[in-house]
Structures are given as C-alpha cells and as structure tokens.
Amino acid sequence: MKKQIKVVGAIFENEDAEILCALRGTKMKMPNLWEFPGGKVEKNEDIQSAIEREIKEELGCEVKFSSKFNDNVHEYEDIIVNLITVKCTIISGTPETTEHDKLIWIKRENLLSLNWAPADIPAVKELMKEKLAFK
C-alpha cells in the first residue's frame, strides 16, 4: 500500500496581482517542477500552524494564514499526496530560496506557462478561474 502524506502549499498574491511560484530544486523529489511553497503537515498539527512553520523554514518570512483554497488528492507512482493550498499574507520578511532553485512572481493568467507538479495543477486551474470571475 502506498504511503499517504498531507501537504500544505501557500498561495501569495502581491500588489501587482502576481502569484508566488517556487521551482523545486534538483536535489528534491520531482526536480524542476513548479509548486506552491509549503510542506508536510506534521502529526497533530493543523494546516494553519503547518503553513506558518513551513514558510518560515523554507522562505525565511513570517506569514499569516487567510483561508483554505483548494484540497485535492493526487496519486503519484510511489506516494499519495493530499495537497491543501491556502491563501496567506506575508507579514514580515521577503521570500528567499533555501530549498527551491528559484522563486518568481507571475500573473495569474500565465500560471499554466510553467511546468507544475501534478498535485498543484487543480489549485492553479482554480486560481485562473477565480481571476476570470472578476473580469
């Protein structure tokens, strides 16, 4: 039976209506794919605590959880990932790479120009639809 993990990913939007995207490092599983930054939810940890901890560890900044955005399950060859994406606000610091090879801010309508990790695609598509709803 495949191992199942719960992961949380942060969606940040800046004042220019761009979304923060992180390129998985070459030493990570599934290198060179884009994702929303975040990580594993530890045992007995809620998603709010997990995203605040993970972003501090991964990007070196303090964030505030705003709301749950998307919850999906993706089955990879060797693992089943339950990815919960959440909207967050940066309250102090500037995101810097520690694990990822690159961070970029990109317009919502251009999100699909990146090569995303499969588990992140449902949230990407939902973000793009959300933008269309306001046009």
**Domain locations in the chain as residue ranges:** 3-133
**Which residue, 83, 60, 108, 79, is CA-closest to 10?**
83
pLDDT digits (tens, 9 = 90+) for 11-57: 999 989 899 999 998 888 888 999 999 999 999 999 999 999 999 99
pTM of the entire predicted model: 0.92
Mean pLDDT of 52-80: 95
What was the pLDDT predicted at 27? 85
Cα–Cα dist 98/107, whole Å: 23
What was the pLDDT predicted at 99? 87
Specify the CATH architecture of the domain 3-133.
Answer: Alpha-Beta Complex (3.90)
CA angle at residue 72 from 70 to 74, to 5 degrees? 145
What was the pLDDT predicted at 132? 55
